[in-house]
Amino acid sequence: MKRLLASLALTGILAMPAVAADQVDLTVLHAWPQHAKWEKEIAKRFMADHPNVHITFQAPSVDYGEGLVSVIRQNMAGDPPDVFMVGSHLLPNLVTRGIVQPLDDVMQGKDMEKLGYTENVLKLGQVNGKQYGLPWTDSTTVMFYNKDLVKKAGGDPDNMPTTWDGTIALAKKINALGSDTHGIYYTLGDDDWMVQNLLATNGIYPVTKDGKIAFSTDKGKKAIEVFQRLIQDAGQQPIADKAARQEMYAGKLGIYFNSAAVVRSFDREIGDRFPWGAAQMPSLGEKGNVASGGMGVVVLSKDPAKRKAAFDYILYGTGAKSQAYIAKQTGYIPINTGSAELLKDFYQKNPNYKTSPNQLDRALGWFSWPGSNGVKISQIIMDDMTSVANGEMTADEASAKMTDQIKPLIETK
């Protein structure tokens, strides 16, 4: 009898997980530890809505590259995270390794347009015409500026220049204010996105429509020359981004370029020590473009139940409400059409957050290099551009060198 009771109890314990069979556990990995706060908040809200889904975050990777390495490694061990926020330029790396499958199965029957995703937004998550993911965040580059310094130098902080010529002229004047004040800093960032953006201001992609490397074209060379002019004429110092940003926060730098994703950081770091603004990117041609980029969200799990839950989570995070929340937390552009209404008041009161969405009509779509050498190409571009900054190469020499080095890397697979 005792034994019977014991075994009954045991079956009861064993049966317990079966009771909670509907429970789905999802592991999520995203890059950039500073994003953990809002990522967690979205997951928390989602779980409140979907009590049967439990989301656990892996420790965030320090940048997009590390995140990709971590996923590849975990995939080799047979247990990748179920959901991954991948740097927009790195998505093809997942596809060529067969780590990610298209979303066709879970997207079936959903009217994506009605849910607030435009054709262009959906395209950002496609590789070779297949929908592998959705954009989770989207950003463009903006011009941050110190209003006091601009005013002191004779500029109009409410009407910043819209051309590179005008911007350089203004920066020159700011630089001449003296007492450790510097005119301008255009960051090269962590990959080649900021250089893509320089090219975009002259209206071209890193690989032109007829398959040429931008640095080999006249338009591309002109764009790279802008960077040299920033150094030689406008007072950009060849120092690390972190050091320049500290100068900006200290009120010693006039104009600074970076992703609009850091608008919130500017808010926090500068507070009301001095007035600052975020203006649209200047153009080189009559009407230049801006580069866009961000992170895509993909489902790595192959389990149907998990894929379904993961897609619900993705729809929640890319939905109107969550995207509006992310926009307030960072400065990212909401990718959902429904967010605009929700952000109306906020944008009215905080115009610096609206600069990036405002220039969306001239943004080029996400770009990644053909083949699997994108990261290496990024490094080459950053190294050669740094050489221009340090005066080791002229802009034209760098353009020629980058073309030579990149060519074999995009031709061989």
Residues of the shown chain interacting with another protein in the complex, contacts defined by CB under 8 A:
65, 69, 72-73, 75-76, 93, 96-99, 180, 237-240, 242-243, 246-247, 250, 252, 372-373, 375-376, 379, 382-384, 386-387, 389-390, 392
Nearer to another protein, 27 or 70 (CB): 70
Pick between residue 144 and residue 311 the one whose CB is nearest to another protein.
Answer: 144
Nearer to another protein, 138 or 191 (CB): 191
| Element spanning 123, H or E | helix 119-124
- Nearest distance in Å: CB 235, another protein: 13
Shortest distance (Å) from residue 78 CB to another protein: 12
Closest CB to another protein among residues 97, 172: 97
Nearer to another protein, 73 or 273 (CB): 73
CB of 99 to another protein, least distance (A): 7
What tokens does 119 get? Answer: 């054709």
- Give pairs for 124-130: CB < 8 Å, separation 24+: 124/88, 124/294, 124/296, 124/335, 124/365, 124/366, 125/91, 125/296, 125/298, 127/91, 127/92, 127/95, 128/95, 130/102, 130/104
Least Cβ distance, residue 388 to another protein (angstroms): 9
For another protein, the closer CB: 58 or 246: 246
Which of 213, 389 has the CB closer to another protein? 389
Distance, CA of 162 to CA of 155 (rounded, Å): 13
Which is closer to another protein, CB of 31 or CB of 142?
A: 31
User: At its nearest, how many Å lie between another protein and the CB of residue 114?
Assistant: 37
> Shortest approach of another protein to residue 32 CB, angstroms?
17
How far apart are CB 154 and another protein at their closest, in Å? 24
CB of 69 to another protein, least distance (A): 5
The residue assigned the tokens 């320049």 is: 244
Backbone angles phi, psi at 290, to 5 degrees: -130, 155
Spell 6-15 as b/e; 16+ CB within 10 A means b: eeeeeeeeee
Tell me the angle at which helices 374-389 and 193-200 cross, rounded to the nearest 10 degrees.
70
Q: CB of residue 390 vs another protein: minimum separation in angstroms?
A: 6
Q: Which of 168, 185, 177 is nearest to 255 (CA)?
A: 185
- To which residue do tokens 């600052």 refer? 276
Toward another protein, which CB reaches closer, 61 or 352? 61
CB of 243 to another protein, least distance (A): 5
Q: Which element (helix H / strand E) includes 389?
A: helix 374-389
Distance between alpha carbon 279 and the CA centroid of its chain, in Å? 18
Q: Which two tokens stand for residue 71?
A: 């996923």
Compute CA distances 381 → 43, 108, 227, 340, 373, whole Å: 37, 41, 13, 36, 12
What DSSP string describes 294-350? EEEEEE----HHHHHHHHHHHHHHTSHHHHHHHHHHT-PBP-STTHHHHHHHHHHH-
Residues 6+ apart with CB under 8 A from 130: 102, 104
The nearer residue to another protein, 278 or 388, going by C-beta atoms, is 388
The one-letter code for the residue type at 97 is R
